[in-house]
């Protein structure tokens, strides 16, 4: 077991993390969403990274462009230059027309400028797991200040996490799961995870206790309901990913 004991951990994760930026009040994974998270008082944000056709890391959630831009088709077939023609804001609200799909470099620069911490979710398009982790880690290590707390890496992809472990073993890793399966401990040990990031449904207090007893930080996505968040914190959950940091921050107590 290589989990860093919580008592000696050098990392501090706040109780509230703005999911895809403050994505209830600005278009997800855009610079506007990260600025909004900062304005609302969040100390950390979560964002998703995947690669364009020409292998550049961009901050984007879906495998296709259709839902959150005015373009269409797979991100994996779209070169970075073509993304510059797409609007990633007006689908959310006309006030955000002109927002672009940001590069990883642009997002990290902005976070450094605003002094925000972050969870970088490696969200590879199918078949690009190791490549996505390698490119994203390479860019992040070049830009992220060495004196700042490291980025927390996470992924549903064990290949991506294991690649991150090999490239930057000193940066913490979070294993993303939709539910705790029988093999969760083996998966967490394989990638030397520091935290487990679970979907809020069907998570209950027994599963949280199981992860805490094993020495992991526990983070839960995506919780927007204040009562649910209070329950989670009572169970010992360390951090909650929320689309509405302005709702949960006043309750978080830290």
The catalytic residue positions are 19, 61
Residue 99 within binding range of Mg ion, rule CB under 5 A:
no
Nearest to 14 by CA among 53, 41, 36, 35: 41
Min dist. Cβ of residue 24 to ligand G3P (A): 13
Are the beta carbons of 195 and 176 closer than 8 angstroms?
no
State which residue, 82 or 177, has the beta carbon closest to ligand G3P.
177
Phi-psi region of 226 (alpha: psi -120 to 50; beta: other; left: phi over 0): alpha
192 binds, among Mg ion, ligand G3P, none (CB under 5 to 8 A by kind): none
> Nearer to ligand G3P by C-beta: 18 or 135?
18
Query: Is residue 243 at the binding interface for Mg ion, with CB under 5 A as the rule?
Result: no
Among 48, 99, 192, 246, binds Mg ion (CB under 5 A): 48
Least distance CB 73 / ligand G3P (angstroms): 20
Total residues at interface with Mg ion (CB under 5 A): 2
- Which residue lies nearest Mg ion, judged by its C-beta? 121
* Residue whose CB is less far from ligand G3P, 121 or 246: 121
Residue 47 contact among Mg ion, ligand G3P, none, beta carbon within 5 to 8 Å by kind: none
Binding partner of residue 30 among Mg ion, ligand G3P, none, CB cut-off 5 to 8 Å per kind: none
Is there a contact between 51 and 58 (Cβ–Cβ < 8 Å)?
yes
Q: How far is the CB of 63 from ligand G3P (least distance, A)?
A: 11
129 binds, among Mg ion, ligand G3P, none (CB under 5 to 8 A by kind): none
The angle subtended at Cα 152 by Cα 148 and Cα 154, nearest 5°, is 160
Instruction: Check residue 162 for interaction with Mg ion (CB under 5 A).
Output: no
* Pairwise CA distance, residues 32 & 5, whole Å: 36
Where along the sequence are the contacts to ligand G3P (CB under 6 A)?
19, 46, 48, 61, 121, 154, 176, 197, 221, 241
Which residue number, 19 or 165, has a Cβ lying nearer to ligand G3P? 19
Distance CA 156, CA 160 (A): 8
Closest separation in Å from C-beta 28 to ligand G3P:
9
Kindly write down the DSSP assignment for every residue of 135-158, as one continuous string.
HHHHHHHHHS-TTSPPPEEEES-H
Are 195 and 217 in contact by the 8 Å Cβ rule? The answer is yes
Is there a contact between 118 and 44 (Cβ–Cβ < 8 Å)? yes
Contact 135, 142 (CB under 8 A): no
132 binds, among ligand G3P, Mg ion, none (CB under 5 to 8 A by kind): none
Distances (CA, A) of 87 to 21, 23, 81: 17, 16, 13
* Kind and range of the H or E run holding 104: helix 104-114
* Choice from 28, 99, 121, 243 touching Mg ion (CB under 5 A): 121
């Amino acid at each position: 077991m290589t989990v860093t004991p919580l008592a000696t951990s050098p990392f501090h994760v706040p109780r509230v993390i703005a999911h895809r930026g403050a994505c209830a009040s600005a278009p997800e994974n855009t610079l506007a969403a990260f600025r909004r998270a900062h304005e609302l008082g969040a100390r950390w944000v979560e964002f998703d990274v995947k690669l364009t056709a020409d292998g550049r890391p961009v901050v984007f959630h879906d495998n296709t462009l259709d839902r959150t831009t005015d373009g269409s088709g797979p991100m994996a077939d779209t070169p970075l230059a073509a993304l510059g023609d797409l609007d990633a804001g007006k689908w959310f609200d006309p006030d955000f027309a002109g927002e672009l799909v940001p590069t990883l470099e642009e997002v990290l620069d902005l976070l450094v400028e605003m002094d925000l911490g972050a969870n970088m979710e490696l969200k590879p398009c199918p078949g690009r797991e190791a490549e996505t982790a390698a490119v994203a880690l390479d860019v992040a290590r070049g830009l992220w200040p060495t004196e700042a707390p490291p980025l927390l890496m996470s992924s549903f992809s064990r290949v991506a996490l294991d690649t991150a472990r090999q490239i930057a073993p000193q940066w913490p890793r979070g294993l993303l799961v939709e539910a705790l399966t029988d093999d969760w401990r083996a998966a967490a040990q394989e990638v030397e995870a520091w935290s487990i990031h679970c979907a809020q449904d069907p998570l209950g207090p027994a599963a949280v206790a199981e992860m805490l007893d094993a020495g992991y930080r526990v983070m839960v996505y995506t919780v927007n309901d204040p009562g649910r968040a209070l329950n989670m914190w009572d169970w010992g959950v360390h951090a909650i990913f929320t689309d509405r940091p302005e709702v949960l921050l006043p309750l978080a107590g830290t």
